[in-house]
Structure 1
């Protein structure tokens, strides 16, 4: 996005459940991916890579390696 969003706008965007959201955190933390529930999400996010995505219950999102 080319515009800056306020904290409340970012929270609203993260909490909605229809549009996938990717949040890149500071290193060395992994990327958070919040996507609508579907069978096979983990396999789709993994996309044949060696490392598996982990479910983060705190943020209700997948943690995927930044590499």
Structure 2
């Protein structure tokens, strides 16, 4: 086999490995609603989360 075929197979294996790792990490990750997270937090965390939500909303609308 020529060298370019080995190189192509190696790159394909790396891309496939990355896709599999990405799939399982996305499947495992739990997503929390930021507003729900702010409701179930203590006072200082609520203030921080509300400021972060407001900042992201301001950034989105500008």
TM-score with structure 1 length normalisation?
A: 0.26
Whichever structure has more strand as a proportion of its residues is: 1
Which structure is larger by alpha-carbon Rg, 1 or 2?
2
